[in-house]
Amino acid sequence: MKKTLGVCAVLAALPLAAWADGLQSLEQFMRNAKAGQAQFTQTVTAPAKEGQPVRSKTSSGDFSFQRPGQFKFVYTKPFEQTIVADGKTVWLYDVDLNQVTQRNQAQALGSTPAAILASANDLASLKKDFTLKAAADADGLQWVEATPKSADGQLKNVRVGFQGESLAAMDILDGFGQRSVIRFQNLKVLPALPAANFKFEVPMGADVMTQ
pLDDT higher than 50, residue 133: yes
What is residue 206's three-state secondary structure? coil
Instruction: Tell me the backbone φ, ψ of residue 22, rounded to 5 degrees.
Output: -65, -30
Please report which confidence band the pLDDT of residue 42 belongs to, taking 50, 70 and 90 as the band edges.
Answer: very high
Residues 137, 155 contacting (CB under 8 angstroms) = no
Report whether 181 contacts 47 (CB < 8 A): no
Q: CA-based angle 207:155:173, to the nearest 5?
A: 105
Name the CATH architecture for the domain at 22-193. Clam (2.50)
Question: pLDDT per residue over 159-174, tens digit each?
Answer: 999 988 788 999 999 8
Confidence at residue 94, expressed as pLDDT on a 0 to 100 scale: 95
Preceding peptide of 53 cis, ω within 30°: no
**Residues 6 or more apart whose Cβ sits within 8 Å of residue 125:** none
Residues 6+ apart with CB under 8 A from 127: none
**Domain boundaries, given as residue ranges, for the chain:** 22-193
pLDDT at 113: 76
Question: How many whole angstroms separate alpha carbon 159 and alpha carbon 144?
Answer: 6
Half-sphere exposure of 199 (CA within 13 A, CB side): 5
**Stated pTM of the model:** 0.82
